[in-house]
Structure formats: structure tokens, C-alpha cells
A and B are shown apart, each in its own frame.
Chain A
Amino acid sequence: MTAALELGSGESGDNLLARVRTVLGRRTEGRAVALLAVVAVVTAFLEPVVFTSYPVTLGRIALIGLVALGLTAVILMGELDLSVASTLAVSGVVMASIESLPLGIVAALLVGLMIGAANAFFVVAVGINSFIATLGMLFFLRGSAFVLSNEEPVRLANRDAGIAFGKPFLGPLTPRMLLFIGAFIALQVFVTRVRVGREFYAVGGNREAAYDAGIPVTRRIVTGFMISGFVAAMAGVINTLERTAADPTAGSTVLLASFAAAIVGGVLLTGGRGSIFGTLLGATSLGILQVALTLSGVQVDVQNIVIGLVLLLAVITDPNSVRGVVGSVRSLLQGRSRA
């Protein structure tokens, strides 16, 4: 009786190849993997140092990727958080301004959580579009960082602790990399295995449906922004420790790099699609690329051109766009030949 209707459930087949295809077809990271492979292969030929001194590359990936991981939580819900870089700067300044190191770290992380909560408040309670709310927060926090720091770098009271923090801790891995890996695992598990995190996809993919299903959408958004704020503050703490001072202008390149990592990783800016793993792949591609370009001594402007091309490549290799481009090129050529 139940077999009466074959509704055609995708192309799930019996043989292994078909199963692999089905599993791969469900993933959103395909393009990020392909891009990473291309970047890695090209780099391996041109600048093998990128891989022989892998701790440096890992350090760069952690620098780019940490903030992006937290940001992804917000983007999955279809919201934006433009205040991450300023959060990084403010939390660093707060941390360095406090004499006691542990107290400073705790205060900085609390500041991150509070900023996340404030962002969420404006978005869900006041009802401001998250782009605008966090843009406002971006300026407010950047200004605060300057005021709090008296417009100059704030030196850490305990510089030796900071310098020690920048040294390898476990094998070649520095605490920054370990924290990055930890944050990745925690967030990956959170959005795939934990109900609250998994529901981020529902909030971003079909918010109406999420409301109807009784998911506390508001609470989820608050959680997402607080994750983003916390992770950005964590990055601020790590940077301040490693540099032994908090610079109020810190993180000027973080915002765009984080968004780039998420986009290259296949995270849809309108929400509902993407993964933490994708963002990791995106950050890895960009990290390898940046280190390779730095090693080649390529001008920073040219580096930006290359990164821009990679971003565009990541976006236009969406299967639909590729088909569109191929089709229009072909019809253009046909039109020419006939005219």
C-alpha cells in the first residue's frame, strides 16, 4: 500500500558511487573544498614555504578565521554583525586597562557578551535591521576604543605573560591556534548536534516556519549575537596578549576578512545555508593565499586584487551562475557568428 506512490526522493541510489554523490550533493562546502584544493596546489608549486613552515600559515588562518567562526553563527540566521572588528578593539583595550591579567580577560569577554546582547536588543526588541544596528555599533565601539585608550596603544601590565602566550604551547601550536581549533569544534558541534544551534538554520532558512514551529526565534537571535560578540572579544584578548598591547585601531582588516572567509566557505549571507566547517575552509584558503602572497613580496594592493578575484570566483562558481555565464557566452558567440 505504501509503495503505491513513488515520489522520487532525489537520486539516492544503491551503489556506493551514487551514495557518495548523494552525500556530497547535500553539502554546501563543495566549492570551498575545490577552491582550497586549487589554492593549495598552486601555492605548493610557487611558494612551498607556506607548507614547510605550516605553523606560520596556521597562525594566519587562526587570525583570519576566529572572528569569522563567530560571525557565521549570526549569518546563518540571516543577520549581519558588522561590529565584530570594533568589538575586538574595545575588548582588547578593556583588557589591557585592567592591571590584573585574569580579571582583564574576564572583563573583556564579558564586554563581548554585552555587546552581542546589545546588538540583539536593537535587532529583536527595537526592530532595527541588523546591518544598520551593527553599523551603528561599529562606530560607537570604535569611538569608545579611542576614548578608553586615550587614543594610544594601551600596554599590557604583564608583558612577559603576553610574550609567552605567543610561543608554541603544544608541539608547534600556539595557544591562539589551540583556541581557534577549540572554537571551531565547539561551534561545529553546536550548530550540528545541539538543538539550539541547529535551530539557527531554521531561523535563517525560514523564519516564519521557525515561529510557527514554536522555536523561540528571539532567544536564538540573542544567542547568535552573543556568540559572535564573545568570539570577537576572545580574538581581542588573544591579539592583545600576543602583541603585549591593545591598539584602539586593531582589527581594521578583520571585518572584511571574516566576511570573505564565510562567503568563500559557502555561507549564504541571507541565512539558512552554510556551515562552520565551510567558514574554516574559507579561512584556510584565504590564509594560505595571504601567506603565499606575502612571501612573494606581492604589493598589498595586488594582494587585494587576488583576494577579490577569489571572492568573486567563489560566488560565481555557484552552479546556477556558471550555467548562466556559459549560456550567455555561448549565445553571444552564436549571435556574433550569424550576424
Chain B
Amino acid sequence: MRDDDHDHPVGDGADPNGEPIIEARNITKSFGGAVAVDGVGLAVGAGEIHGLVGENGAGKSTLMRVLAGIVTPDHGVVSIDGVDLDAGNTRAALDAGIALVHQELSLVPEMTVAENILLGSTPTTSGFIKVSEQRRIAAEALNEIGVSVDLDEPIVRLSVALRQFVEIARAVARKPRVLILDEPTATLTPAETDYLLDMLQRLADRGLAIIYISHRIPEIFRICHRVTVLRDGKLVDNIAIADTTPDAVVDQMVGRELKIEEGQRREALPGSVVLSAEGIEAHRVNGIDLQVRAGEIVGLGGLVGAGRTELVRSIIGADIRSAGDVTITTDKGEARVRTYRSAVNNGLAYVPEERRTDGLALTMSVSDNVALPNRSELSRAGILSRSKIARRAQELAEVVGLRPPQVQREAGEYSGGNQQKIVLAKWLGRKPAVIVLDEPTRGVDVGAKAEIHRLIKELADNGTAVLVVSSDLPELLELSDLIHVVRDGRIAGTLDGSVADEKSVMSLASGEATVSGNGDPDDLVGSAQ
């Protein structure tokens, strides 16, 4: 597949010999007074992978949308091969060879893989779709990125990871000169991420200019030749990877000294069992038992699609379970939980994965969102007390580190990381007996991530039983006292958080260390219950 099979060590700087393919000069864009991008320039040459980093809200996405012609900048120009492009013209950008792989997946669920890859540029003869050519081009594009998938499969039937690859195939099918990827690995497992990064290097070797946006600093250092750091819409640095270090980049991003507490584990003193689930069966969940004690953080690891989200949703009663019992034991006694409502009434808090749709009312203010689960506490004779809500919300906003801590603003105006903090604040106000978190830091920048980790640990230290689902292995290892690895809707194995490592979790998750026949997994601390 790889025609030019020459060696291409990472970070040797492929660009300097040629003119840049894409160049953006002095881009400024503000939305209603707030400056999102402020005089930023960027140049990427053929064969170069250019990293773009910054905290959420630093202006990365806006800059990319300007490059792709989706957003019209207030000032500045984008040029390809020295020719200026018509600003804010998506078609012109596409025709000039700029392809953007969106952060939010932009595939049509009920259309097939082939149709999605050629969406908007379907080949036709007098209006009729040329099906064979459509399939041929789609197959070529998939081939080019080395992914094998049935062309006639509708997108809804694909895994999240496959959808991401189809999205990339779609960009590649346009034979772009510049490929922009916005957080492509956020939903991928480590193996899939590896594969994607290798693939990007191959594409760069063929002369593509690639702009790669990620929160994951190690990925940047693995594949990028140069990195651009943005903060608050301004360019902080543009430097060759060889000349910088991960710590330096993180410092530049956050603009303050931030110790990433990597591997810094807390001393867990688990109390009695608070959350107990027995024999849970539901859609994609095939008989699972688990317990979470007061002050304990239990992690659920596994691949995307292993059934973890389904498991927690059925435990908390948000989805119907076909069998199994769940009890929550607090100082008020033991309660059997069948519905989500009864779970919440018995002291459970839930922070869903899709916070945009499940966890927050985006058009309501931060303080109203925070008040939602605390209505009885904040109301007097059934009437919500405005001042009480505002005061309480303000307190909580400061505890979770909401920036800016303006609780009257709409939740939708905040960035992803801040929205997650609002969701946490919402539940912190209740001092829950149990909190269930699904991917608490997906798409969140490093600064906010560290703060969210701190909050979760604090909750546990204060006696809350914590159940957390995470695909982010370092996060899972850092937080969890006990890790259950889920595969195919079952617990494939249980590991003690203090001795588990990425390898042991992944081998359980991927099925390499299955409980084959009746044998026990050899090198694991705990076995499947």
C-alpha cells in the first residue's frame, strides 16, 4: 500500500525545503464582542503534520473553521499555494483541497458507508447515482487509510471508532492537499489510536499537509513535526517538536504552573457497601454483579461498545433492566432501586457521557441547572427561592472552578470542560451517597481534567461511593481503587487499582486474557466474580 516506503522518523521536520501549502495570516474572529481568535497565523507544508493545542475555548476550533471556509474571519486571509481563498466560502475551500474532519461526527446515520464517503460529491449521470463509481471511490479511500468495512453498511450499525475512520476516509476521498483533524482520537481505544496515528504518518509521507488538533500531548509528540500553541485566542508559540517538551507545551497552554498529578493516588479507606447490583441483565449487559463502598472509587474499563454505559444506565434505572436487583444503602436504610427517580431520591447522582444531551439544559442558566436536582432543598413551601439558588450556585461554581464563575449565563455558552464542571456542581450540591460518572473528562482540556480528577477524589474522601466509566486508561488507573474490566456485557476481570497497569487492563478488555474454559486468568489480581 505504501509506495514510497522510505524511512520517516518522527520530528525530522519535513517541511523546510518547500513553500507552505496552506498559510493563514493574521486571522481574527470575534463572536458578539468575545474575541475567539486574535491575529493568529499558521503555515503548514507538504508532508508536515502540524499539531494545534490549547485549552478548550482557546480558539482552535474557530481557527479550523476559518481555514475550512465555514466561518468568515473579521480580518486575515487563508491561502493555498500562495493564492488567497474567498473568505467564508466552504465550496472554495473544499475545491482548493482543504478537508476538515469534524470533532462532532458529521455522518448521516441511515446512509451507507459508501454514500457517506461521497456525501455532497456523489457521482451521477443525468441525476442518477453511479453506484459502481461511488463504491469504487469509497473503496479506494478506505483502502488508502487501510480500513476494511462493508460499503453497504449503514453508519448506525458501525462502532464509534469505525465511524471516525469513515469520516477520515470521506476527507481523503476528496483528494485533499490539506487534512485537518479535530480531536479524532477522543472516542478511540489505545489500539485504534495507534492505528490512526500510523495512518496519518503514512498520509503525510505522501505529501499531505496535516493539521492535528488534540488534547493528548503524547500523541502530538508522537506524530507532529511542529506544534502551534493557542491560549485565549492568541498565538503563544509555534515551534518544532524537537525543540520543546511536553511539560513546556502544557505550561504554555494553561499559562500557569500546573502539576499534572500523574499516578498520584489517594489513600482509600472504603467503608460499608453503598451501591450493590446483582445479576444485572439488560440490553448488551449479560449478568453483572458489582458493589461500591462508601469512600471507594470503582472504575469500569473496557473498549468502547463493551457495554459499560449500558451497564451503568441499567444500574441506575435510566434504562430498563430485564433482570437483577440494585440496592442503595445509606444511613437512612436500605432501598431497592427500580427507577432512576427512586435512585436519585435515595442519594444517587449520575453524570452522563453525552452531557450535551443528557446532563444539561443548555438554554437554562448555570444556576437553574444547578438547582434542578436540588429543588426541594432550595424551595420554600414549594416555591423556588431565587436568591437561595443564586447563592448556592455561586458557591458551587467556585468549588468546581467554573471559569468565568458567572452563574446567570446560559450553560450552553460554556466550553465542554466547563459544562462538565457545571454537571458536577449540580450533583455536588446534593452531597450524593453514590455518584456514577460516565467518561467524566472526554474532550476536556488538561487543566480542567486535573480539576475534575481532584473533585472526584474529594467526593470519595468525603464518603461518597464513586462508580466511574472511562476509556482513558491513565485516568482509570489514577482514580480507581478497584477496576472492573467489561467485555461483551460481562465483567472479564477485576483488578486492584494499586497494582493494575495499562497492559493488564487492555489484555482483559481486548480478550487476550479471557477466562478460557474454566481456567482463571493467571496474572490478574482478582478474577471475574
| B120-A214 in contact (CB<8A) | yes
A272's partner among B108, B152, B336 (CB-CB below 8 A) is: B108
Q: A174 contacts the other chain (Cβ, under 8 Å)?
A: no
| B150-A195 in contact (CB<8A) | no
Chain A interface mostly: helix
Given known A195-B122, A206-B109, A326-B322, contact A10–B90 (CB-CB < 8 A): no
Measured between C-beta atoms, what is the minimum distance from B382 to chain A in Å?
30
Given known A206-B108, A323-B283, contact A7–B146 (CB-CB < 8 A): no
Given known A12-B150, A194-B127, A195-B129, contact A7–B283 (CB-CB < 8 A): no
Q: In the assembled complex, which residues on chain A have CB atoms less than 8 Å from the CB atom of B120? A: 210, 212-215
Number of interface residues of B (CB under 8 A): 52
Given known A193-B129, A214-B120, A327-B320, contact A272–B109 (CB-CB < 8 A): yes
| B119-A7 in contact (CB<8A) | no
| B153-A26 in contact (CB<8A) | yes
CA distance A41 to B508 in the complex (A): 50
Q: A16 contacts the other chain (Cβ, under 8 Å)?
A: no
Q: In the assembled complex, which residues on chain B have CB atoms less than 8 Å from the CB atom of A209? A: 106-108, 119
**A308-339, CB under 8 A of B: which get 1 and which 0?**
00000000000010011011101100110000
| B162-A9 in contact (CB<8A) | yes
| A210-B108 in contact (CB<8A) | yes
CA distance A331 to B322 in the complex (A): 7
CA distance A60 to B104 in the complex (A): 46
Q: In the assembled complex, which residues on chain A have CB atoms less than 8 Å from the CB atom of B129? A: 193-195, 198
CA distance A69 to B491 in the complex (A): 48
Q: In the assembled complex, which residues on chain A have CB atoms less than 8 Å from the CB atom of B161? A: 7
Q: In the assembled complex, which residues on chain B have CB atoms less than 8 Å from the CB atom of A193? A: 128-129, 131
Q: A5 contacts the other chain (Cβ, under 8 Å)?
A: yes
CA distance A213 to B399 in the complex (A): 42
Q: B361 contacts the other chain (Cβ, under 8 Å)?
A: no
| B108-A202 in contact (CB<8A) | yes
Q: In the assembled complex, which residues on chain B have CB atoms less than 8 Å from the CB atom of A328? A: 320
Q: In the assembled complex, which residues on chain A have CB atoms less than 8 Å from the CB atom of B148? A: 2-3, 7, 9
Number of interface residues of A (CB under 8 A): 43
| B1-A1 in contact (CB<8A) | yes
CA distance A202 to B127 in the complex (A): 17
| B338-A10 in contact (CB<8A) | no
Closest residue on chain A to residue B123 by CB atoms: A195
| B90-A205 in contact (CB<8A) | no
Measured between C-beta atoms, what is the minimum distance from A118 to chain B in Å?
25
Q: In the assembled complex, which residues on chain B have CB atoms less than 8 Å from the CB atom of A3? A: 148
Q: In the assembled complex, which residues on chain A have CB atoms less than 8 Å from the CB atom of B127? A: 194-196
Q: B268 contacts the other chain (Cβ, under 8 Å)?
A: no
**67-125 of chain B: CB within 8 A of chain A:** 70, 90-91, 94, 100, 102, 104, 106-111, 115, 119-122, 124
Given known A7-B149, A194-B129, contact A25–B157 (CB-CB < 8 A): yes
Given known A215-B119, A272-B110, A330-B323, contact A4–B195 (CB-CB < 8 A): yes
Closest residue on chain A to residue B112 by CB atoms: A26
Q: A28 contacts the other chain (Cβ, under 8 Å)?
A: yes
B149's partner among A9, A213, A320, A324 (CB-CB below 8 A) is: A9
Measured between C-beta atoms, what is the minimum distance from A210 to chain B in Å?
7
**Max count, chain A CB within 10 A of own CB: residue among B121, B154, B165:** B154
20 A–B contact pairs at CB < 8 A?
A2-B148, A3-B148, A7-B147, A7-B162, A12-B153, A22-B153, A25-B157, A193-B131, A195-B124, A195-B127, A196-B127, A198-B115, A208-B106, A209-B108, A212-B106, A213-B106, A272-B110, A273-B110, A327-B282, A330-B322
By a beta-carbon cutoff of 8 Å, the part of chain B in contact with chain A is 1-2, 70, 90-91, 94, 100, 102, 104, 106-111, 115, 119-122, 124, 127-129, 131, 143, 146-150, 152-154, 157-159, 161-162, 165, 191-192, 195, 282-283, 319-323, 336, 338
By a beta-carbon cutoff of 8 Å, the part of chain A in contact with chain B is 1-5, 7-10, 12, 22, 25-26, 28, 193-196, 198-199, 201-202, 205-206, 208-210, 212-215, 272-273, 320, 323-324, 326-328, 330-331, 334-335
Extra pairs beyond A194-B128, A199-B122 (13, CB < 8 Å): A1-B1, A5-B195, A7-B161, A10-B153, A195-B122, A202-B108, A210-B120, A212-B70, A212-B106, A214-B120, A272-B110, A328-B320, A331-B338
List the 10 closest A-B pairs by CB distance, nearest first.
A213-B120, A327-B320, A209-B106, A2-B146, A205-B108, A214-B120, A213-B119, A327-B322, A9-B149, A5-B195
